[in-house]
Amino acid sequence: MLHVKHNALRAILRCLDRLQPEDRQTLKAVIRDYLLPDGRRWLDAADKNGLHWLDTAEEGPDPVTLQEEAALVTTLVGTPLLHDDGWGGLLHVAAQMADAALVSELLLAVPPAAMQADSPDSGCIVICDSGRTALHEAAANTPAVAQLLLDSNPAAVMQADDYGCVPLFYARSEATAALLVAAAPAAAAVVDEDGQYALHCVAARGSAGLVRLVLAAHPPAARMADVWGRLPLHDATCLHVAELLLQAAPDCAMQPDKDGKLPLHYAVSVKQMPTVHMLLAAAPVAATICNSRGQLPLHLALRYKCTPTRLPAFQALVAATPVREAVTVLAGADNSKAALPLFAAAVGHAALSDQDWKLVPTPCASLATVLPAVHARSRAEAGQLVQRLPPAAQARLRTAAMVLAPALPAHIFDTHILPFVVV
């Protein structure tokens, strides 16, 4: 009978049901080829008692030895299988599934030497087709599997894949990242083939806890640009991450990438409105900077529908843009529905020339909200604004002027009546 060392073969058999059909056949074929070179040594199916061919062997002169079994387990663990990120061994698959029990059994079955990257027997046990180790797979999951793999091969924490990324680049949980940083703080200073640090990767995942850990391990990474000129701040996908990175490197708010895009351009493009507000507060002048295609952040904002949740950020962009440029951009927008509610922010922010007023569309209902401010600034401009109100708003305004204005002091009418009769 087969002596199953550490139950590794039974663990592999249990795992077969969790693999893709083609991978299941691959493993079974390896077992058949290895154990049945002459078709006599192992049964290829369950016998009359229901025993599987991994649980029993034919009687014969060539019983399977423990050495043969150990070699078989090593072969099985290293057999290339297709999983989500490419081809890797069964240990990669188990690590990706975050199955700590199966990983533990496989590690017990594989000879320790085979876990070293420079071992001639390592093959797909250590490396898959993209150069990723099982620890790269485990980095994206909970820390239990990562700890098992680190214990079996501590050097794997600094082993880069074909793209130059060490496992820390793939970390998705704070606990796993803390484990990897504690094992090798220098991992945070590794640069991949695109010039990116682990900080670029975790910033894009939107976890402030991850960013805090990696940033503390290598603070200079906050100022490091990749081959496209992008900083971690360009890749930040949420407000709290952007705040951490800006605190670490305040001047980065005004650093463009190779396409001339500031972090503000990126925040607008991915519709991160809280981050837009934060970056505008940190560097208002960023709203006036064009990218290499001549686009202001406001140009990028006008690609999207001006929903109530986006409106305050879009208005802040308009207010931070010189009024002539803002009105010109709004008037030339392909998406007129997005632009229309924003003219009020431009008109109410600063004085317009007669040429500028010609760019303001008619009718434009949002202008009613800034009539008091414009009226206080210039009666001539207030007249320009009223001409662009919808007919119903103009009628209400005329009625109020005829009925109430003669009976009230001008400042009372302007302050207490005017704001209500046009809206």
Dist. CA 257–CA 226, nearest whole Å: 9
What are the residues facing 42 on neighbouring strands?
57
Give the residue-averaged pLDDT of 339-355.
93
Determine the pLDDT at residue 378. 87
- 288 pLDDT exceeds 70? yes
Determine the pLDDT at residue 80. 54
Give me the amino acid identity at 247: Q
Contacts for 211 with CB less than 8 Å, ≥ 6 apart: 199, 202, 203, 232, 241, 244, 245
For 363-388, the pLDDT digits (tens) are 999 998 898 888 888 888 988 898 89
Determine the pLDDT at residue 205. 93
Determine the pLDDT at residue 122. 47
- What separation in angstroms does the CA of 203 have from each of 92, 160, 209, 417? 25, 20, 10, 50
Q: What is the mean pLDDT of the chain?
A: 79
Q: Which residue has the higher pLDDT, 247 or 66?
A: 247
Determine the pLDDT at residue 216. 97
Determine the pLDDT at residue 274. 95
For 151-188, the pLDDT digits (tens) are 988 988 999 988 999 999 999 999 999 999 999 999 99
SS3 call for 226: coil
Task: Assess contact for 42 and 34: CB atoms under 8 A.
Answer: no
Task: Assess contact for 37 and 30: CB atoms under 8 A.
Answer: no
Dist. CA 391–CA 397, nearest whole Å: 10
Range 198-217 burial, b when 16+ CB lie within 10 A, else e: bbbbbbbebbbbbbbbbbeb
Task: Assess contact for 185 and 217: CB atoms under 8 A.
Answer: yes
Determine the pLDDT at residue 94. 77
SS3 call for 81: strand
For 113-161, the pLDDT digits (tens) are 555 544 444 444 455 657 788 899 899 888 999 999 999 889 889 999 8
pLDDT band at 395, cuts 50/70/90?
confident
Range 327-365 burial, b when 16+ CB lie within 10 A, else e: bebbbebeeeebbbbbbbbbbbbeebeeebbebbeeebb
pTM of the shown model: 0.76
For 59-111, the pLDDT digits (tens) are 333 444 545 555 555 566 655 554 545 555 677 777 877 878 778 877 776 65
Show me where the domains of the chain are located: 1-138, 317-423
